Amino acid sequence: AQSVTQLDSHVSVSEGTPVLLRCNYSSSYSPSLFWYVQHPNKGLQLLLKYTSAATLVKGINGFEAEFKKSETSFHLTKPSAHMSDAAEYFCVVSDRVAGNMLTFGGGTRLMVKP
């Protein structure tokens, strides 16, 4: 069975400082991994995805994530936080064994202080 653990439920950073949102996954098959962002009262927007190509994945709005199989991790980073980055972030896994179903982590709420 696949599962996702987001290690921090809340992260607070100052504007202009780096962002690190941590994610560990479990999958019985070669997984696809995603990061989604959700702004208040909005749907989910895909930030980036890993689908067994390059392990360092670049996404929108300056975000990137590195797939580390040995550590079963897929942490999300951004060099410099912007106020508009304040939102909830979800790490998501999908694999063929689970029938392509998406399994979501519990979410990390990112707060950006001015």
Identify whether the C-beta of residue 91 lies closer than 8 Å to the C-beta of residue 8: no
Among 15-23, 43-51, 59-67, 71-79, which window interacts with another protein (CB under 8 A)?
43-51
From 34, 63, 67, 89, residue interacting with another protein (rule: CB under 8 A): 34
Smallest gap from residue 22 Cβ to another protein (A): 17
Smallest gap from residue 13 Cβ to another protein (A): 23
- Count the residues in the chain: 114
- Closest to another protein by CB, 14 or 51: 51
Beta bridge partners of 48: 35
Strands 32-38 and 87-94: antiparallel
Beta bridge partners of 104: 92
Q: Is 80 an interacting residue with respect to another protein (CB under 8 A)?
A: no
Angle at 20 between CA 7 and CA 98, to 5 degrees: 50
Residues lying near another protein in the complex (CB under 8 A) are found at 32, 34, 36, 42-46, 49, 51, 90, 94-96, 99-104, 106-107
